[in-house]
Amino acid sequence: MQSGMGRSGHFFAVDAHDIQPDLLTSAKALGGGIPCGAILCNEDIAADFGPGSLGTTFGGGPVAAAAINAVIDAIDSEHLLQNVTDREAQIREQCIVGPVKRIQGMGLLLGLVCDRPAADVRDALLELGILTGTSSDPDVLRILAPLVLQSEHVDRLARALDTI
């Protein structure tokens, strides 16, 4: 899962929609690199879980719990959701240049639709020291940036796209 813990500009991507999920999972980003996972569910589903029904060797361990708290505190205290929203707006404003025809996605989980194979654009950007990815659509360059992406990074990406 790559859309949780703020990458969408919301704590969870579902928060951007008028949807109330029955069950939501979170893992990797939840612990900031410390192995952990969580299930959030409504009361109806929670009622089906009895004592011992969700067992795990290290579940509820103090290191994982501390990591989860630290991640949530950092997202809040460093205003990272606002940063994601600001950087998305900046990317949409500055990065429709060079091979980029349009931008899809939300937050910092974006697809830059290119006028040539995205793999060629990815390779050219890599030569300039910018790491991007491709997707199942051969014309979409994938941007999966961290929540701490800075304005200068987007400026650099836009300049690079404009030169290739």
The tens digit of pLDDT for each residue in 105-149 reads 999 999 999 999 999 999 999 999 999 999 999 999 999 999 999
Asked if residues 88 and 106 have their Cβ atoms less than 8 Å apart, the reply is yes
CATH of domain 80-163: 3.90.1150.10
Task: Identify the three-state secondary structure at position 148.
Answer: coil
Q: Using a cut of 0.85, tell me whether the model's pTM lies above it.
A: yes
Burial of 38 (0-12, 13-18, 19+ CB in 10 A): middle
Asked if residues 64 and 58 have their Cβ atoms less than 8 Å apart, the reply is yes
The ranges assigned to domains in the chain are 13-77, 80-163
Place of tokens 């830059």: 112
